[in-house]
Structure 1
């Protein structure tokens, strides 16, 4: 996060920084990082693998 977000620019306000940190965590880190509790795959991949088939497809 330090290299990918914090060091990329000078933040005008703490609120701007807080919003950027929140977005980075929720939009990039959590959806794509691997979790040991689900077999070392990312949550997006886990949901894709365990989604029921679309009956209309």
Structure 2
């Protein structure tokens, strides 16, 4: 999941260099969403991992 967020971030940066504003906005928003989903899943896995080890 983090891999996809980084891919869309790179697409947004490359599109920003070339000036494709619609592509920049779309790729940046997808990267943001994927990043926050990844963070939430990471926190959930930390919490559930601690419960199992106890």
TM-score normalised to the size of structure 2? 0.42
Higher relative contact order (CA 8 A, sep 6+): 2
TM-score normalised to the size of structure 1? 0.41
Q: Which has the larger radius of gyration?
A: 1
More helix, by proportion: 2
